Amino acid sequence: MLITGGDKGIGLLMAKAFLKLGSTVVIWDLTESTLQQTVDKLKPLGNIHGYCVDVADAQAVYEMAEKVKREVGTVNILINNAGVINGQHLLELDDSRISKTFMVNTISHFYTTKAFLPDMRDRNDGHIVTIASLAGIIGQPKMTDYCASKSAAIGFHEALHLVC
């Protein structure tokens, strides 16, 4: 199984839970130093691997996906969990932060799913999980970019579910 954004928050909690169930867990995150600390901390729980990758970079995702397949094996559960939140009013948001929010919270799901779904379909075995938020359904103050990106992630997953 692979969890994006796996070295803190919900991703970390899921990694711990799946390790305790005996799963081989791969976590992807952006910050190498904290990623390695997390892997070292979780090693006593089971078979865990950490890879530093920017999920907003399509080429990096595809290359790292191939590396994971070679080094760890096939991924049968993909949890699209990586996310960013700015917590600012729309007019305070820098345009680059808005784009980054969408790249990480939504567009990265396209990349990771394209990287792992073909193998799942070939084996007729696998699950794709999208971590979104109630904020993707009900708007929240100071979260226009986050709410919109999570709403798009929900739409992506609903559409994906219809064809898989």
d(CA 103, CA 120): 24
At 129, is the secondary structure helix, strand, or coil? Answer: strand
| 146 assigned to active site | yes
28-38 as b/e: b if 16+ CB within 10 A: bbbeeeebeeb
The residue from 51, 62, 111, 146 that is catalytic is 146
d(CA 91, CA 88): 8
At 126, is the secondary structure helix, strand, or coil? Answer: coil
Q: Which residues are known catalytic residues?
A: 146
